Chains A and B, each alone.
Chain A
């Protein structure tokens, strides 16, 4: 049994310190991720990537969204944006303010988180389109999504460390290009 009785949630000051210590690559990554959600779940809304990112940071700073220090602050902000965009998309459907196109809707699963019900199919299709000709990349992503470590993925796919790193770099390059300015979704192939 764990003896760790400490609170894993950061204090407001710890959250502030962590956000203040983010570097240029972190900001660039967060902007790309905010852009991703704005283009998928928030498509058709007036919410901009900057709004989504700023809201995630504000909520973390004022304690509305607690940062569990077991994950990095940048991952916490990623998951915050994921959750917020999911709830906003859910709200658009619930309140029927401006329904999303049919192809973005997924059948609701009872007791499931809103983000699991929305846009999953669309997002997954993007991912498959992105790596349509790259079976190793798709398999690596799938195994990573199952929580396998790098070593376990290498073993499962029968590849070495060098090839693993090459494939992950390839994934990053395609994904960044996919999210870059002026490139509509599904354009880059």
Chain B
């Protein structure tokens, strides 16, 4: 009856929203049964979602007292990953580091990264020596580095592929760190 091929894009979007809304209204029992029928485990899927939310909650707790260098580190790694068009999983595998640790480095400014992991990441991205080490906090730096790291992290709040402008920002930040590591 109503459904035909002549509806416009906005209506199509609305139909897909209606479909998702019906999913959102599902009871736990229904969801368990549907997932089970598809060969997927409800508890495992829910645990993945919960872990994501908990990481986000933990990360957002530290807004005033956060380790600014680590924010810069996380933002830099995410941006390098976007530049290379690789997922976190691919980076962890390629750099031979733990995926969970990589996730924490990217998103949790309170996390203390393992020096070996930092070294592996520097090697993987072929960065000048000690660039990431500076941001990990293993090397004492001047206050201007901390401030630059904060500015960089604030400019890098995106998850999509790099624009030309972002690529330039990334290059400038790496150059800045290189200059300040050499001093």
Residues from chain B with Cβ under 8 Å of A180 in the complex: 35, 38-40
Sample 21 A-B pairs with CB under 8 A, ordered by A number.
Answer: A19-B57, A20-B57, A24-B28, A24-B46, A27-B46, A27-B49, A33-B23, A45-B85, A47-B159, A54-B55, A55-B159, A75-B24, A109-B10, A112-B10, A127-B15, A127-B19, A139-B1, A141-B15, A145-B17, A176-B26, A177-B38
Binds A, one of B117-125, B126-134, B160-168, B174-182: B160-168
Contact A24 B43 (CB under 8 A): yes
Residues from chain A with Cβ under 8 Å of B139 in the complex: none
The answer to whether A144 and B39 touch (CB under 8 A), given A22-B53, A27-B48, A45-B160, is: no
Whether a CB of chain B sits under 8 angstroms from the CB of A98 is yes
Contact A28 B16 (CB under 8 A): no
Give chain B interface residues in 14-36, CB to chain A under 8 Å.
Answer: 14-28, 30-31, 33-35
A sample of 9 more A-B contacts (CB under 8 A), given A19-B57, A53-B53, A62-B60, is A22-B50, A25-B26, A27-B49, A46-B85, A75-B24, A172-B22, A175-B19, A176-B23, A180-B39
Give chain A interface residues in 33-47, CB to chain B under 8 Å.
Answer: 33, 36, 45-47
Whether a CB of chain B sits under 8 angstroms from the CB of A151 is no
A175 to B87 CA separation, bound complex (whole angstroms) = 26
A117 to B52 CA separation, bound complex (whole angstroms) = 29
> Smallest Cβ distance from A30 to chain B, in angstroms?
5
Whether a CB of chain B sits under 8 angstroms from the CB of A68 is no
Complex interface bits, B57-73 against A, C-beta within 8 A gives 1, otherwise 0: 10110010000000000
The answer to whether A91 and B20 touch (CB under 8 A), given A53-B52, A120-B9, is: no
Give chain B interface residues in 64-107, CB to chain A under 8 Å.
Answer: 81-82, 85-90, 107
Contact A47 B50 (CB under 8 A): no
Contact A116 B49 (CB under 8 A): no
Contact A139 B2 (CB under 8 A): yes
A177 to B134 CA separation, bound complex (whole angstroms) = 47
Residues of A participating in the B interface, judged by any CB pair closer than 8 Å? 16, 19-20, 22-33, 36, 45-48, 50-55, 57-58, 61-62, 64, 72, 74-75, 78, 82, 84, 87-88, 91-92, 95, 97-98, 106, 109, 112, 115-117, 120-121, 123-124, 127-128, 135, 138-139, 141-146, 168-169, 171-173, 175-177, 180-183
> Smallest Cβ distance from B149 to chain A, in angstroms?
18
Whether a CB of chain A sits under 8 angstroms from the CB of B143 is no
- The total of interchain contacts (Cβ-Cβ below 8 angstroms) comes to 207
Q: Which residue of B lies closest to A143 (CB)?
A: B2
Contact B160 A88 (CB under 8 A): yes
> Smallest Cβ distance from A150 to chain B, in angstroms?
10
> Smallest Cβ distance from A19 to chain B, in angstroms?
6
Contact A33 B20 (CB under 8 A): yes
Contact A29 B163 (CB under 8 A): no
Contact A95 B15 (CB under 8 A): no
> Smallest Cβ distance from A70 to chain B, in angstroms?
15
A75 to B49 CA separation, bound complex (whole angstroms) = 15
